[in-house]
Structure 1
C-alpha cells in the first residue's frame, strides 16, 4: 500500500532532502547536494524565487518506509507572462516501483488540473538556472554538481505513466589538448578591432560584482528565444550573486565589453566540485569546506556553466575572444578536461561554438510532458 504525505514540518523537509542519500548510497556516479543548501532552496524566507513561484513537496511511503519524493512547482511568471499553463515538477526520485512513481505524479497532475493547466513537465526546477532533465544515456560518468543524476529505470516510469519526451539535452566533454589556439587567436584580434570590444580579466571576486547585474541582464537577453525561458528577476539576481559567485574562481569569469563599457558577452566556468561533494556526503562541517576549497584551487577539470552573447553580437565570432582568454587561464592552471552542462539539442548556435574542439557527447537527458 502506497501512502502520500505532503511536507509540512522541518523533519518532513529534512526527510525529503535526504531521501536520495539512501537511494544512491551505492552509486559511484551520484553527487550528493549540500544538505543545508537544499534546505534553503525550499525555504520561502531564503529563496526569492517564491516571490513569483510556489511549490508543494510530497513524500511516498510503502509499508511505512520512505520510497519516493517529488516537488510540484508553479512558476507564475511563466504562467502569466508567457500564458503557458504548465505544471512543473522536479526533485523526483523513487524506488523501481511503478505504483510509487505514479502515485507521486498523480499529486502533481491533480494540482495542475486544479489550476486548469494544460500540461505538466519535468523534471525541472523553478527557473532556467536550476537542474533539468532525467538521464536517459550515459549512466557511467560522475554527475556535475549542477545536474541531477538518476537510476536507468527512471525513463521507463515516465513512459508507463503516459508521459512523452518534451525536450532533449546533451552533455559533452573534451580534453583541453583538443583546444588549438590557431582556431581563434587571429580571429579574436580582428574581431576586437572590428567591433571595438575588449576582454576583462578578474583576479578578485569583488572586481566581478559591479558587472554581475549586467551579466544577469545579458543572460535574460541572450536566452530569451529559447523554449520555456523564464527571466531572472532583480531580487533573484541578488540571491544568485550571493549563492554562486563566491563559489567561482574570479579568473574563470570572462566578460567582453564594447567601447562604452557595455557588456556584450560573458562566460562562467566552474571547477569540477563533484568528487569533493562525494567526499563531503552532504555536510559542510566540520571538514566539507576543506574539500570545496581544495577543488576550487586544484581541480584539473572545469565545467562550462553559462555562456551568453548579446543578440546583436551573435554569429560574429565574439566567442573567439572568450576562448582566447580561457586558453591562457587553463594552460596556466594545467586544466586537463572541459565539461559542458546540459544544452538543448536543438540549440544549434551553441553547438557550432564548440565544433572545433571535437567534443564527445557522453550523456543525454530529457524532460517529459503529459497533457492534463
Structure 2
C-alpha cells in the first residue's frame, strides 16, 4: 500500500502522534514510556514556552489507514541568530521526534520534513533534536542495553543506518558518563576537595527550594555565562524558564543542587535530579487510575538507583583553571554523599557532555566514570 505523509494540526492528530511509539517500543525493555500528558504539552504551542520563539510542523505517516511513523520539522528563531561557528546560525532548521516502522517510511518522513524546511527558507538541517536543544538531543548510537535517565532519549538501533543512508553525516556527539557513587573518589580528588574546604574564600552551599525563583535566577545567570560559547547554545527565554520550573520543581531537592561561591559571589552550580524515569516507567504513560497516587508518594521521599547530573557550569573567567576543577569536585562529592545517604542511590550519570568539551570530560574521567551512552547529532545540506 502507498505511504501517505500528512501534516497534522488537530488535537486528535497530536494524540495519535504521542501514542505511536507506545506500540513501536512495546517489546523493548529499555524504552521508558513518557507521561502522555506531558509529552502532549511539549508539542502543543499553547502549553510550551519554546514556541514563543519557534515554530514546528508535525507529520504522520499512514499506510492503509494505519499510522506507521511520525516526525517533527521545526525552526528556532533564536538558533538562527547564533554564530554559525557554534553549530547553528542562519538557515539552520531541525527535525526530531522521529519514529518509523521501516526504512521506506523513514525516508518518506525525512523528505517531508526537509521539504517543509526548504519552503521556510532553510538551507541546512540538523537532527534529531526533539524539539528544543534543552530537551532530547541526538540519536542514541551506543548504550542500548539499559534505559535512559530523565530527559534523555532512547531509539531503535537501526535508525542510525537509516539516517546515514539518507545522506546525513555526523556533526556532534553528546556523551553521558556512568559512575558508581558508592565508591569514594581517588586520593588526588580527595586532596583537591580538602584543599578547597580549607580555603576561606570558597563556600559550597545547598539551594533553598523555598526561594526557588531567586535560586533559579542565580543558576540561570551562571549557565548563560558558562555556556554561551558552547556548541548548540540557545539561551532559555522567560517562558521556557517558567516551564522548566513547573516541570522540575517537584524533583528539586535542596541537597542535590549546589551553588559554589567565591568571595561571596556565586560562580558555579551543579544540578542533580533523582531519576524520575524509574518511577514513571511502570505507569506506561498514564497517571490513571492510580498512577498519580504512586507518583505523588514517590515524590515525597524518592528512593532511586540512579541520579542524573544534567547541568553544571562555572563562570567563564574561571574556566580552564585549577579553581574550576576544585569547585566541580567539591560539588560532585557533596552531592554524591547526599545521593547515597538520603536517596539510596548507587549510580550517577553525568551528561550530556559535548565530545570536544575536554574540561568536563577530564573531570568525569578523573573521578573514574565511564562513557555509557553516546548520542549523535547529524546534519545535511538542503541546497543540493
What's the TM-score once normalised by structure 2's chain length?
Answer: 0.90
Name stretches of at least 5 consecutive residues in structure 1 with no aligned partner: none
The equivalent of 1:159 in structure 2 is 164
Measure how far apart 1:193 and its partner are.
Answer: 5.9
Residue by residue, what CA displacement relative to the aligned partner does 1:80-125 show, whole Å, maximum 9, x if unpaired? Answer: 3444311111101111x22211111111111221233221111113
Contact kept? 1:302, 1:337, Cα under 8 Å: yes
Does the aligned pair in 2 maintain the 1:184–1:324 contact within 8 Å?
no
Contact 1:2 1:62 in 2 (8 A): yes
- Matches of 1:24 and 1:79 in 2, distance apart? 34
- Change in CA separation of 1:325 and 1:208 when aligned onto 2, cut-off 3 Å: farther
1:119 aligns with 2:120: no
Contact (CA 8 Å) 2:178, 2:369: kept in 1 or not?
Answer: yes
Structure 2 residues not aligned, in runs of 5+:
84-88
Alignment of 1:218 with 2:227, yes or no, is: no
Matched, 1:289 2:292: yes
> Contact between 2:34 and 2:285, CA under 8 Å: does it hold in 1?
yes
State the match for 2:346 in structure 1.
336
CA-to-aligned-CA distance 1:99-154 (integer Å, 9 cap, x gap): 21111111111122123322111111343321011111221111212111111110
Query: Which residue in the other structure is 2:239 paired with?
Result: 235
Within 5 Å, give how 1:1-372 maps onto structure 2. Answer: 1-82=2-83, 83-95=89-101, 97-180=102-185, 182-191=187-196, 196-202=201-207, 205-260=209-264, 262-292=265-295, 293-294=297-298, 297-314=302-319, 315=321, 316=323, 317-333=326-342, 334-372=344-382
2: distance between equivalents of 1:360 and 1:181? 15
| Separation in 1, partners of 2:226, 2:171 | 22
Deviation for aligned residue 1:228 = 2.1
Per-residue displacement from partner, 1:304-360 (whole Å, max 9, x unpaired)? 111111112223222122123213313423421111233221111111111222222
Counterpart Cα distance in 1 of 2:340 and 2:35:
30
Contact in 1 for aligned 2:97/2:131 (Cα 8 Å): no
Q: Which 4+ runs in 1 deviate beyond 6 A?
A: none
Structure 1 length normalisation: TM-score? 0.93
More moved, 171-180 vs 31-40: 171-180
For the aligned residues, what is the CA RMSD?
A: 2.0
Q: Match of 2:125, SS?
A: strand
Contact 1:3–1:61 (CA<8 Å) still a contact in 2?
A: yes
Give a deviation string over 1:162-208, Cα, whole Å, max 9, x none. Answer: 11111112222121134327444442353366582311224x62244
